[in-house]
Amino acid sequence: MFRILHLDASARPGRSGQQAHGSHTRRLSARFVERWRTLRPGDTVTYRDIGAAPPSPVTGDWIRAAFTPPARREPWMQQALAESDSLVDELVASDLIVAGVPMYNFGMPAQFKAYIDNVVRVGRTFGFDRKRPGEPYWPMLAGQGKRLVILSARGDFGYAPGQRLVHMNHVENGVATPLQYIGIDCAASVAVEYDEFGDERLAQSLRQAEAEVDRWVDVLAGDAGAATACG
């Protein structure tokens, strides 16, 4: 049984094409999961709406608690880390992370950054030991075959590799880099562009993105593809 963690980070409720001013990333992530369920109805999906209910930002108490060895944590430290523990548990239990992450001011939404800060955590998802010179850090989720699919949307166009605004795109790398750091190093991405133009170029971009979503579902949902495919 395959386990999917479905994350939405858009501040927009609803899906484009169904609700006025709905989210393109919610539309793509829902399409991905619905198609997957059609192909593999026995798999499980855990859903978390980060856009509507964002994790708490990291605080000084959180940092102190996270860097205190578990055996020495006081009750208030356990409470400070409770939400993070739940988020990490979901991530650790998943085989595939499907993340709808729109571009806000060239990067990910603050809601999703809070999620990243809660799951990239010493002792849970990455290790650290000062006694390992030259290699004090290691990814604790490496070798587990976890995969990541980033579904994004942008107001302008030309943010893909080799295009005019690639240097201003901090979404895909901003999401993939910290997750790669903890061992999720197999990632694919699909994006909608031209949102602010709202013309036929947006419609065409949506059609292309949906076709790409379908392709990735078909690749990853296959028995061989689910074990080896990577973007």
Q: Does 15 score more than 70 pLDDT?
A: yes
Look at the chain and report how many structural domains it folds into: 1
Per DSSP, the residues of the chain read: --EEEEEE--SS-SBTTTSTT-BHHHHHHHHHHHHHHHH-TTSEEEEEETTTSPPPPP-HHHHHHHTS-GGG--HHHHHHTHHHHHHHHHHHH-SEEEEE---BTTB--HHHHHHHHHHS-BTTTEEE-TTSTT--EEETTTTS--EEEEEEE-SSS--STTSTTGGG--SHHHHHHHHHHTT--EEEEEEE--TTT-SHHHHHHHHHHHHHHHHHHHHHHSHHHHHH---
Structural domain including 54 reads 3-228
Determine the pLDDT at residue 224.
Answer: 39
What mean pLDDT is predicted for residues 115-133?
Answer: 94
Residue 197 marked as a ligand binder = no
Confidence of residue 221 (pLDDT cuts 50, 70, 90): very high
What confidence tens digit (pLDDT) does each residue in 181-218 have?
999 999 999 999 999 999 999 999 999 999 999 999 99
Residue 47 marked as a ligand binder = no
Q: What is the CATH number of the domain that holds 182?
A: 3.40.50.360
Q: For residue 139, which of 84, 86, 91 has the smallest C-alpha distance?
A: 91
- Which residue has better confidence, 25 or 198? 25
Residue 104 marked as a ligand binder = yes
Residue 108 marked as a ligand binder = no
Residue 106 marked as a ligand binder = yes
pTM to 2 decimals?
0.94
